[in-house]
Amino acid sequence: MPLLSRIYIRTALVWLVVGSTLGGVILWSKASPVPGAWSWLAAHISLLTWGWLLQLTLGVAYWILPRFGAERPRSYLAVIAYLALNVAMLLAAFAGLLGRPWAVAAGGWLQLFALAAFCLHAWPRARRSAYGK
């Protein structure tokens, strides 16, 4: 497993743990109210959809899509996608909590940029493998 995939997948696991714990607090608060629990809802959703599900998918895709020999060409695009995705996700998760609606919008655009960068990296790799299948 290449270094960048390990970084993607470990980061995804961290956001899974953080996002699920926030979700656990929110669910607990449905039984006995926890002050401020519902203010974490946007962070819970953002961390688990973008930070966990999507990020894990991208990390595994970077690992297992067909390579060109031993190379994963234009891997810098996947690095840019990783950085942009995590900054964007943190903006989307926490900017609303801090009362910065412009940052939520900026996070949305940065997420789009991150995904475009990853797709540019991955597009030529979605091809016949070296085994001919």
* Site for other proteins, rule CB under 8 A: 1-3, 6, 9-10, 13, 16-17, 20-21, 23-25, 27-28, 30-32, 48-49, 52-53, 56
CB of 23 to other proteins, least distance (A): 8
CB of 16 to other proteins, least distance (A): 6
Residue 44 has φ and ψ, to the nearest 5°, of -55, -50
Q: Rounded to whole angstroms, how far apart are CA atoms 34 and 22?
A: 11
Distances (CA, A) of 59 to 41, 89, 116, 129, 131: 25, 16, 15, 19, 23
Nearest residue (CB) to other proteins, 16 versus 116: 16
Nearest residue (CB) to other proteins, 19 versus 96: 19
CB of 63 to other proteins, least distance (A): 10
Whether the CB-CB separation of 113 and 128 falls below 8 Å is answered with no
